[in-house]
Structure 1
Amino acid sequence: MAVFKPKFITFDCYGTLIKFDMAGAASAIFSDRVSADDMLPFTNDFACYRLDEVLGAWKPYGEVVCQAMIRTCKKWGVEYQDSDGAGIMEACATWGPHADVPAGLATVAKAFPLVLLTNSMNDLISHHVPRLGAPIHRVFTSEQAQSYKPRMRGFEYMLDQLGCGPEDILHVSSSLRYDLMTCHDMGIKNKVWVNRGHEPANPAYGYTEINDIGGLPGVLGL
């Protein structure tokens, strides 16, 4: 990708910047009900149901997590307790950034306004923004947009609030399914995929690949 000077650099937060560990949280809670051999496919199903849950009408993220876990438990014949979803949400609030994030963000923040578009709640994201180690210009949550990614509405809301078009931003994410495929469909041409091993590559979606946020300054010619 040729060096591009965006008006804003927009980011996915969880997974891309914050070390998102739903699988670890679920594994800790369900270790007494799910065997070690079954835990990886169990948590993989939990991830798939979370994606399915965000495709409909907006609801609080705690409900997304609980409903996804209820469906996962039903599939596996595992008892679900109300405390399970609450425990996972409590774990969410404790997570911090990937080790590469603070320095990488601080470098690009000197030249560009940084914006978050996150599938978070207003009160939940407040735990994480201060841990990123760089000034964040704006934060847009699913609660504000009343829509979760990968739906387009959140991106549309963000662009409207920023007063810019798809051609004016560089969007950075570790997820093709939640972010970069939607960006492609919306005509957001300038995209960076942070390959954290969450999903397989698909270069047809037209992104620049980096291994971590430390590679982002180079993409921007910094």
Structure 2
Amino acid sequence: MYRAVLLDVYGTLVRDDGTWEAEAASLVGGLAGIDAAVVAGEWTARFWALADAAHGADFRPLAELTVDSLEQTATHFGVRVDARELAERREPRPPLFPDSLPFLATLDVPVCLVSDADRDRLAALLDHHRITVDSVVTSEDARAYKPRPEPFRLALRRLGLTAADVIHVGDSPESDVAGAAALGIATAFLQRDDRALPPGLAATYTVKTLTALLFALGC
């Protein structure tokens, strides 16, 4: 049985419904006279291009990547927005999913959160929801973003365990499932919506809720 659980945060423990991103994309689209979905696609591509390059000595915090990618997107479509001011409107403490606290309360093994988040923002979120776990690894701590291996490896070092000892739980096919599986870590794909894993990618478990996974953890 697994000796610890690695756990994503945004979209897994707390809601991350993309409302703010949709509003920002709609604003840019309205100014440029194009569909918001086109803006969102361009923004997503630019964000991940920045994130893919942001590791090691070239690491940059998530807040910077968000602002810069939004500004680049607006410029690409010939408009200007105050991306930093828009980013300040983002909900800093999104609500928990109803199964999050019952899941954490039932687990009898150590939990390490592994999140693509800036350290201070995540700390404030956990404090707001009164969530205490054994360890927390942010992208800022690892100086890399999932699905790169650095966040997962740092989590294993902090727990003093190997890849075979743990399972990683998350809602992102690429960042969570593919990232953890590349290191030989068992995975649980949390299917919060109707999104499916892409062809060729398989998780150890696929569940609709966190509590549905408890049976596999022996709880």
Partners of 2:210 and 2:34 lie apart in 1 by: 33
Which whole-Å deviations, capped at 9, do the CAs of 1:72-122 have from their partners, x for residues lacking one? 2233333222xx2343255241312223222222222xx121110111111
Q: How far did 1:194 drift?
A: 0.2
Please say if residues 9 and 113 of structure 2, whose CA atoms lie closer than 8 Å, have aligned partners that are also in contact.
Answer: yes
Q: Which amino acid aligns with 2:14?
A: I
Q: CA RMSD in A?
A: 2.4
Match for residue 135 of structure 2?
A: 138
Match for residue 77 of structure 1?
A: 78
SS at match of 1:40: helix
Partners of 1:150 and 1:86 lie apart in 2 by: 29
Partners of 1:24 and 1:66 lie apart in 2 by: 16
Q: Does 1:66 align with 2:67?
A: yes
* TM-score normalized by the length of structure 1: 0.83
- Percent identity, aligned pairs only, is 21
Partners of 2:78 and 2:34 lie apart in 1 by: 15
Q: Which amino acid aligns with 2:66?
A: V
Number of aligned pairs?
A: 212
Partners of 1:121 and 1:198 lie apart in 2 by: 28
* TM-score normalized by the length of structure 2: 0.85
Match for residue 205 of structure 1?
A: 202
Q: Which amino acid aligns with 2:77?
A: W
Match for residue 120 of structure 1?
A: 117
Shift >4 Å, 4+ stretches: 29-33, 131-134
Unaligned runs of 5+ in 2: none
Q: How does 1:94-105 map to 2 (within 5 A)?
A: 94-105=93-104
Q: 1:149 aligns with which of 138, 146, 151?
A: 146
Please say if residues 54 and 149 of structure 1, whose CA atoms lie closer than 8 Å, have aligned partners that are also in contact.
Answer: no
Q: Which amino acid aligns with 1:122?
A: R
SS at match of 1:171: strand
SS at match of 1:170: strand
Partners of 1:89 and 1:181 lie apart in 2 by: 31
